[in-house]
Structure 1
Amino acid sequence: MCRNIKPLFNFNPVATDTEIQAASLQFVRKISGFTAPSKANEEAFNRAVNEITLAARQLMDSLVTNAEPRDREIEVERARARNAKRFGTVKKLES
C-alpha cells in the first residue's frame, strides 16, 4: 500500500489538499492494517486520517528549498520509463 504514497513536496503546481489526504489515508491503511475499518474502528481511523492530513499540510507549508520545483508531467514520464524498463510494457498512467 505505501508504495502508492508519492513525494508531494517541491512540485509545480503545489500538492493539493486532495493529494495530501490520499497520502494520509494510505499511511493510516498501512499502519492499521485495514483497507476499510470496521464500524467499531471507523471513528478512530477517520480521526487519524484527518490528523495526519493536517500535520502533513503543515509540514508541506513549512518546508523550504532552493531547488527548482519539479514538473509533474516530467515525473510521470520518468515513472513510465522506469515501469517500461522494469515490467517490459508501457502502461498509460491516468492523472
Structure 2
Amino acid sequence: MCRSIKTLFNFEPPATEEEIRAAALQFVRKLSGFNKPSQANEAAFTQAVDDVTAAARVLLDSLSTTAQPRDREVEAGKARERSRLRFKPRPARGAS
C-alpha cells in the first residue's frame, strides 16, 4: 500500500492538493488497515484523511532547500526504469 506514496517536496510544478490528499489517503489506509472503512468507521476515517492532508500541506509549505526543484518527468522515467529492472522476467528453471 505505502509504495504508492510518492515524495511530494521540491518538485516543479509543486504538489497539487489532489496529490497530497492521495498520499494522506494511502497513509490512513495503511495505519487503519482499511481500504474502504465500514459505515461505522467512515467518519473517523474521513476525518483522519482530512487531518493528515492538512498536516502534509503545512509540512510541505514549511520545508526549504537550496537544491534545484526536480522535474516530474525525469523522476517518473527513473521510477519506470527501476521498476523495469526490478520486475525483469527471469529465465525459466532448467533452461540453458
Give the TM-score normalised by structure 1.
Answer: 0.91
1:22-72 Cα deviation digits (max 9, x unpaired)? 000000000000000000000000000000000000100010000000000
Q: Which residue of 1 aligns with 2:45?
A: 45
Letter in 1 for 2:63: L
Aligned residues: 89
Cα RMSD of the aligned pairs, angstroms, is: 0.9
Q: Structure 2 unaligned runs (5+)?
A: 90-96
Q: Is it true that 1:8 corresponds to 2:34 in the alignment? A: no
Matches of 1:85 and 1:42, distance apart in 2: 39
Q: Structure 1 unaligned runs (5+)?
A: 90-95
- Which structure has the bigger radius of gyration? 2
Q: Which residue of 1 aligns with 2:92?
A: none
Say which SS state the counterpart of residue 42 (structure 2) adopts: helix
Matches of 1:7 and 1:50, distance apart in 2: 19
